[in-house]
């Protein structure tokens, strides 16, 4: 058994809507598969706008509706050490990915990906729901569930994880 857990970092702009949802849903997916000893997950924003804040109440509500509690997460901004600390750094949209690419050392760029490239949706990015209504928050949740399933499958294969 691998003793060192695989570490996954979900990234969006504010770390109050999309990446906390991705963190919560992916963690639940990992726990459902009984792999919490093998995979760790965290989330950050590329901005410092909401550092220390709880997720947006609309994200908390959309998550709770599907059985996920993300209310205890707190906003954090990406820092240089994250590029070393995490094995998979997963961006919610293309702008997040570009911001990460600019900051990430060349030798660690292989860690960066788009969340939805792991899933089956026709969406390529998780749309920013911040200035939209409840349906946009529910879409984030749905996209996070699909991509989490795909990402877990990839980690299982790539790291030969067992329960």
Task: Tell me which residues touch ligand 4NP (CB under 6 A).
Answer: 12-18, 49, 128, 130
- DSSP code for 22: H
On whether the CB atoms of residues 75 and 53 are closer than 8 A, the answer is yes
Q: What residues are annotated to the active site?
A: 12, 18, 128
The total of other beta-carbon atoms located within 10 Å of residue 109's CB is 12
Q: How far is the CB of 127 from ligand 4NP (least distance, A)?
A: 9
User: H/E/C letters for each residue in 51-68?
Assistant: CCCCCCHHHHHHHHHCCC
> How many other β-carbons are positioned within 10 Å of the β-carbon of residue 39?
24
Question: 127-139 in b/e burial notation, b at 16+ Cβ within 10 A?
Answer: ebbbeeeeebbbb
Q: Which residue is nearest to ligand 4NP (CB)?
A: 14
Q: Which C-beta is closer to ligand 4NP: that of 49 or that of 98?
A: 49
Question: Whole-number minimum distance, CB 89 to ligand 4NP, in Å?
Answer: 15
Q: Which is nearer to ligand 4NP, 36 or 132 (CB)?
A: 132
- Number of C-beta neighbours around residue 89 at 10 A: 25
Phi, psi of 120 (to 5 degrees): -115, 0
Least distance (Å) between residue 49 CB and ligand 4NP: 5
Q: How far is the CB of 147 from ligand 4NP (least distance, A)?
A: 14
Nearest residue (CB) to ligand 4NP, 14 versus 119: 14
**Does an H or E element contain 105, and which?**
none
Question: Of 16 and 41, which has the nearer Cβ to ligand 4NP?
Answer: 16
């Amino acid at each position: 058994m691998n003793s060192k857990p695989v570490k996954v970092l979900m990234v969006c702009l504010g770390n109050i809507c999309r990446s906390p949802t991705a963190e919560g849903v992916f963690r639940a997916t990992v726990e459902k598969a009984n792999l919490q000893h093998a995979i760790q997950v965290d989330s950050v924003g590329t901005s410092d706008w909401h550092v220390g804040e709880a997720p947006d109440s609309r994200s908390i509500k959309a998550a709770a509706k599907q059985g996920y509690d993300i209310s205890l997460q707190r906003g954090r901004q990406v820092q240089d050490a994250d590029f070393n600390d995490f094995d998979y750094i997963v961006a919610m949209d293309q702008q997040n990915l570009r911001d990460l690419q600019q900051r990430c050392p060349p030798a660690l760029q292989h860690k960066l990906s788009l969340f939805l490239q792991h899933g089956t949706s026709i969406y390529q990015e998780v749309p920013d729901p911040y200035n939209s209504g409840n349906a946009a928050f529910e879409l984030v949740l749905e996209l996070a569930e699909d991509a989490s399933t795909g990402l877990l499958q990839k980690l299982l294969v790539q790291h030969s994880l067992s329960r």
